[in-house]
């Protein structure tokens, strides 16, 4: 029998005796000491109810399995005690009122989303400075007045209900929008009929879709119904809903099988109707992130046309954009950094694909066709560049951006003369530009008035070596002339997974940190997509430790180069980045002064059993696989908490509305780290009922939650302990 690296005692009675928090016996009443003179009693005792099991010849004991049941009265009582303990801490942080005030100034500004244009009508979301939610607006003409269509601030008493634009008809007469409660992934769907001559005559259609997880909601070309993709426990299914009929009678269009291949929970399906309204495109994503993408099409000009395979069975990723009867496809097939090929939908044989933009040294991250031109957006050392091509592949120029930063791709119509993009940086709030495709001129469509003087700050990029010698980039932002003597409070954020690019984006939280004189650092770890699929693969499955090593090397670089010291280094991460925080606290707790671990994955032996965790087995592997179990056990934070570890200050963060990563991870890890902590630093759980993985909470709630996080991190890496 193989013993676990963290050999939990297998004799249940002895285990319970050894692993109960000392405070549960009343024998250790050590005072908890936070930064700047904060004192607390020991954390609330958590009852140990050990569950021992043999997994692939390894004996593991879980002391807090009972906390997996988030609805039980015992768990709810435990959450209440933990949150009160956290509130007792936060009430003593003297700088917190200032943080709330400062964040309010940075956050309470008028904000816009990139508009959707339909025949001179522009639809977008806008939030006024004094509002808690962004609402949906309409503008007639590029410089017309903004007219309110859907007021999100009136949808719930606590204003934790948000809206999103799901689809707009080609003539701009119908708006399909989603309504989401708190931070949940699920939404309900409603349809608004728009009278552009008199918006007072707008009316809600009686049809709606119930609350669910949707991945594509499209109006049919005749505007008599909706095509939609909905995730069900058995997998994603695509339906057609005819207006005026019950949703129970919706027609199943696609989802259970295709070409003799069964589609299940691991296959996520997206539905999209092309701009020219000729085709329903169905994209089948195998895993998250996908290891394979299939594309199917149904010709909507022929009512009885079958669903045809366009790209199928190739273990690569494909992202299509339609133009006429062709697809322009961004793919990493035979091109790890991606290329663009043209595929004839009439004859999609790969042997007949036409190369439009070949693979280069820099990764391509997105494509669009606007005004008859192909816009190809990519990253050069994690900085956005957008090149412009004719549809037959001749490069004609590029979009010029103001400085080092991050831009979206160009959004617009194939036949439109204008498109829109957003540009931002760590020290520049996001600005939305209207771009004239014919002249290349850009003008500001919307720019928030944020009280932040960008000229006083700077962003630089450095490269450091990881444990195995790999060179890794990192952005460092601060006030110009910030002190580098090893004592400056520094905040570092990272992710490292799922092909996600961490680009230089604006965040009021980081702006506040820099305003106080601190450094903000953001390394681009392996596992992300900044340098293409090879960079991603170097940080997934059995190579996940590379991600952690890249992060530790970033911390060591900041310390060695006198930006900060371990005592003054705060780190944060959420979701997959929360797993990174778990690895940081269990593998190198001595490198950090404070850790914020948000919406985290921490029990890597059981994650696939809860909510949509099975999707991520294509990134991490699964303990159900004997070989993958071994490397997961080696780094899984929950199984690698060692008794007697002197942990830094830690705040775990989650909430009931996280319907993606089960909050059980944060609950169990909080209990375990509190029990095994040998330092006197605070170990806290911040838990809100409305908080979740997705955006959607009110701005008031968001400011409160961010202030709690910043108050904790700043307090723990400044002043005396």
Range scoring the smallest mean pLDDT among 157-166, 191-200, 209-218, 471-480: 191-200
Our CA dihedral for 670, 675, 676, 679, rounded to 10 degrees, sits at: 90
Do the beta carbons of residue 362 and residue 385 sit within 8 Å?
yes
Give 26's pLDDT tier (boundaries 50, 70, 90). very low
Are 409 and 444 members of one domain? yes
Residues contacting residue 573 through CB under 8 Å, at least 6 positions apart = 493, 494, 495, 579, 580, 581, 596, 597, 598, 600
Are 464 and 446 members of one domain? no
Residue, of 428 and 660, whose pLDDT is higher: 428
Residue 442 included in any domain: yes
pTM: 0.92
Q: Residue 691's pLDDT is what?
A: 62
Torsion region of 222: left, alpha or beta (phi above 0 gives left; psi -120 to 50 gives alpha) = alpha
Specify the 3-state DSSP secondary structure of 537.
helix
Identified catalytic residue from 575, 623, 636, 694: 575
Are 545 and 458 members of one domain? yes
665 is catalytic: no
- If one counts the domains in the chain, the total is 2
Asked which of 514, 542, 564 is the last residue of a domain, the reply is 564
Range of the domain at 370: 361-450
Are 540 and 461 members of one domain? yes
Q: What are phi and psi of 171, to 5 degrees?
A: -95, 0
Are 440 and 499 members of one domain? no
Asked which of 543, 564, 585 is the last residue of a domain, the reply is 564
Residue 19 included in any domain: no
Are 467 and 420 members of one domain? no
Give 693's pLDDT tier (boundaries 50, 70, 90). low
Give 697's pLDDT tier (boundaries 50, 70, 90). confident
Q: Residue 286's pLDDT is what?
A: 92
Mean pLDDT for the chain overall = 93
Mean pLDDT (whole number) for 65-72:
97
693 is catalytic: yes
Give, as one character, the DSSP assignment of residue 202.
-
CA atoms within 13 A on the CB side of 248: 0
Are 464 and 406 members of one domain? no
Residue 520 included in any domain: yes
Q: pLDDT per residue over 366-404, tens digit each?
A: 999 999 999 999 999 999 999 999 999 999 999 999 888
Q: Residue 427's pLDDT is what?
A: 97
Place of tokens 């991945």: 215
pLDDT for residue 16 is more than 50: no
Are 428 and 476 members of one domain? no
Residue 416 included in any domain: yes
Are 442 and 461 members of one domain? no
Q: pLDDT per residue over 407-418, tens digit each?
A: 999 999 999 999
Residue 120 included in any domain: no
Residue 555 included in any domain: yes
Identified catalytic residue from 422, 477, 693, 694: 693
Distance between CA atoms of residues 63 and 46, nearest Å: 10
Give 694's pLDDT tier (boundaries 50, 70, 90). low
Nearest CA-CA partner of 84 in 129, 43, 32, 37:
43
Are 384 and 464 members of one domain? no
The CATH number of residue 471's host domain is: 3.40.50.1820
Q: pLDDT per residue over 301-320, tens digit each?
A: 998 899 999 999 999 999 99
Mean pLDDT (whole number) for 508-532:
97
Distance between CA atoms of residues 5 and 206, nearest Å: 59
Asked which of 531, 564, 597 is the last residue of a domain, the reply is 564
Are 464 and 556 members of one domain? yes
Q: Residue 411's pLDDT is what?
A: 97
Are 380 and 481 members of one domain? no
Mean pLDDT (whole number) for 77-92:
97
Mean pLDDT (whole number) for 492-509:
97
Residue 527 included in any domain: yes
Residue 223 included in any domain: no
């Amino acid at each position: 029998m193989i013993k676990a690296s963290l050999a939990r005692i297998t004799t249940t009675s002895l285990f319970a005796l050894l692993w109960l928090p000392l405070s549960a016996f009343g024998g250790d009443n050590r005072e908890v000491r936070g930064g700047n003179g904060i004192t607390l009693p020991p954390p609330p005792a958590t009852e140990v109810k050990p569950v021992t099991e043999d997994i692939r010849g390894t004996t593991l004991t879980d002391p807090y399995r009972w906390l997996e049941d988030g609805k039980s009265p015992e768990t709810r009582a435990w959450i209440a005690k933990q949150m009160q303990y956290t509130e007792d801490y936060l009430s003593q942080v003297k700088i917190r009122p200032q943080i709330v005030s400062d964040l309010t100034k940075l956050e309470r500004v008028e904000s816009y989303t990139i508009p959707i244009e339909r025949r001179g009508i522009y639809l977008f979301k806008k939030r006024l400075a004094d509002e808690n939610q962004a609402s949906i607006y309409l503008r007639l003409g590029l410089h017309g007045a903004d007219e309110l269509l859907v007021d999100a601030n009136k949808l719930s008493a606590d204003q934790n209900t948000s809206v999103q634009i799901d689809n707009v008809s080609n003539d701009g007469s119908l708006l399909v929008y989603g309504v989401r409660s708190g931070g949940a992934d699920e939404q309900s769907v409603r349809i608004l009929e728009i009278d552009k001559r008199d918006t007072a005559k707008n009316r809600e259609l009686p049809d709606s879709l119930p609350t669910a997880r949707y991945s594509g909601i499209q109006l049919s070309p005749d505007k008599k119904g909706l095509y939609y993709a909905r995730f069900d426990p058995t997998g994603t299914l695509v339906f057609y809903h005819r207006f005026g009929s019950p949703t129970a009678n919706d027609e199943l269009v696609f989802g259970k099988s295709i070409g003799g291949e069964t589609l299940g929970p691991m296959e996520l399906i997206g539905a999209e109707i092309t701009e020219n309204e000729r085709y329903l495109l169905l994209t089948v994503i195998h895993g998250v992130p996908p290891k394979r993408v299939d594309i199917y099409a149904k010709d909507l000009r022929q009512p009885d046309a079958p669903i045809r395979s366009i790209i199928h069975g190739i273990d690569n990723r494909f992202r299509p954009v339609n133009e006429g009867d062709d697809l322009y496809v961004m793919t990493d097939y035979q091109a790890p950094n991606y290329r663009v090929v043209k595929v004839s939908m009439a004859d999609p044989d790969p042997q007949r694909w036409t190369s439009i933009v070949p693979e280069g040294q820099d990764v391509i991250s997105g494509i669009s066709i606007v005004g008859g031109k192909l816009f190809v957006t990519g990253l050069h050392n994690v900085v956005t560049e957008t090149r412009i091509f004719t549809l037959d592949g001749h490069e004609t120029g590029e979009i010029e951006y103001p400085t080092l930063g991050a831009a979206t791709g160009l959004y617009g119509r194939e036949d439109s003369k204008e498109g829109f993009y957003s540009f931002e940086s760590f020290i520049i709030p996001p600005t939305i530009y209207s771009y004239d495709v014919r002249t290349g001129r850009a003008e500001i469509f919307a720019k928030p008035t944020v009280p932040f003087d960008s000229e006083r700050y700077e962003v630089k990029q450095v490269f450091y070596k990881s444990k195995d010698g790999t060179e890794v980039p990192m952005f460092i932002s601060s006030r110009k002339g910030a002190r580098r003597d090893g004592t400056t409070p520094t905040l570092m954020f990272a992710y490292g997974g799922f092909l996600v690019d961490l680009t230089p984006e604006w965040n009021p939280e980081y702006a506040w940190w820099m305003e106080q004189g601190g450094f903000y650092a953001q390394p681009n770890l392996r596992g992300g997509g900044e340098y293409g699929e090879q960079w991603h693969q170097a940080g997934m499955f059995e190579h996940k430790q590379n991600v952690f090593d890249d992060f530790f090397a970033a911390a060591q670089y900041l310390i060695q180069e006198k930006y900060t010291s371990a005592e003054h280094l705060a780190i944060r991460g959420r979701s997959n980045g929360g797993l990174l925080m778990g690895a940081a606290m269990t593998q190198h707790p001595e490198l950090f002064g404070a850790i914020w671990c948000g919406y985290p994955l921490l029990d890597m032996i059981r994650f696939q059993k809860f909510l949509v965790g099975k999707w991520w087995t294509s990134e991490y592997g699964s303990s159900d696989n004997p070989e993958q179990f071994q490397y997961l056990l080696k780094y899984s934070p929950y199984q690698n908490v060692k008794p007697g570890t002197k942990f830094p200050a830690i705040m775990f963060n989650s909430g009931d509305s996280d319907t993606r990563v089960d909050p059980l991870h944060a609950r169990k890890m909080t209990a375990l780290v509190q029990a095994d902590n040998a330092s006197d630093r605070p170990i806290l759980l911040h838990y809100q009922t409305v908080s979740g993985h997705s955006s959607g909470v009110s701005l008031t709630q968001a400011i409160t939650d961010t202030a709690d996080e910043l108050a904790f991190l700043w307090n723990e890496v400044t002043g005396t302990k």
